[in-house]
Structure 1
Amino acid sequence: MVDLAAIEAERARIREAYLHADRAASAASGVHHVALLSSDVEATVRFYQEILGFPLTEVIENRDYQGSTHFFFDLGNGNLLAFFDFPGLDVGPYAEVLGGLHHLAISVDRPTWERLRDRLDAAGVPYQAESESSLYFRDPDGARIELLADPLGEMYGTKIL
């Protein structure tokens, strides 16, 4: 059985030791891109551009694997979502593993959230709605995506940044 009290005590210890109200500015200037894998470039483009409304911004050859395509979508605010395909390389099906992607949360405003929920319905994409502001669904290769109707820097109405 999991000792929930011990887990909360450890969480409190970490919070006390590392979470500072007067924290220094981040050394980073932002996320340039997050890269996921794609088994089918066109299916991925159709899903992210036509259903979710994230414009395709570039399609180039992947410098690290000959014949592989590296392509990018605009997520707004200078953020990009990228993909690689690896033709001829059996990478296997998507799997959530320790150190791997659990989900990618993408912030959208409430009207866009509602419009994209309707697009997911129209496209027959199953999703799970949580807390009246999160939609969780899988992309064509199984990666879990969350559309979050909270502004950047907030989580369920609480400032986290």
Structure 2
Amino acid sequence: MTDLAAIAAERDRLRRRYLTEPAERAPSSARGLHHMALVSGDVERTIRFYQELLEFPLTEIFENRDYPGSNHFFFDVGNGNLLAFFDFPGLDLGPYAEVLGGLHHIAISVAPAQWERLRGKLDAAGVPYQVESEVSLYFRDPDGARLELLADPLGEMYGERVG
């Protein structure tokens, strides 16, 4: 059985050791997330899901420089951030799996009105989802990657500042 008290004590230790107050925190060396890349089992199906259902515009598609015949394509998820995909025709990569060190989910901030509208579109498309804390929708893309639409502003989660 998991020792929850020990886990909480370790989390508190890590917070005391590494977390600094915003006013004292050094600026990040990064400018932002350029793109996150996932694997697509079917390019057109992925485009329909992300562009038509979730309304993330396709911004580019070109040949993957590392694997001839493979596509590398991008969707705008706001604020200059991109969600990218590769397909790898001819490779049997198998189904999506959550593994240690792998992707758990991608959380994308949307305005509350968009959240409600997209929830309706997921319903209409028959995409199963789970609602958490009245502001998070968890669901899977056609290849099994878990997504979250979060109706909190960037830098906040469930009313708390995280960024």
TM-score normalised by the chain length of structure 1: 0.99
**1:130, CA displacement in angstroms?**
0.7
Match of 2:30 in 1: 28
Instruction: Flag structure 2 segments of 5+ consecutive residues without an equivalent.
Output: none
Instruction: Let me know the Cα RMSD of the aligned residues.
Output: 0.4
3-state SS of paired residue (2:77): strand
Q: Which 4+ stretches in 1 moved above 4 angstroms?
A: none
**1:23, CA displacement in angstroms?**
1.0
Q: How many pairs are equivalent?
A: 161
Give matches, 1:78-97, under 5 Å.
78-97=80-99
Match of 1:6 in 2: 6
Deviation readout 1:85-131 (Å, 9 max, x if unpaired): 00000111000000100000000000000000000001110000110
- Give 1:41's match in structure 2, choosing from 40, 43, 47: 43
Instruction: Flag structure 1 segments of 5+ consecutive residues without an equivalent.
Output: none
3-state SS of paired residue (2:123): helix
Give matches, 1:54-69, under 5 Å.
54-69=56-71
Structure 2 CA distance for aligned equivalents of residues 63 and 140 of structure 1: 25
Structure 1 CA distance for aligned equivalents of residues 162 and 129 of structure 2: 25
Q: Counterpart amino acid of 1:132?
A: E
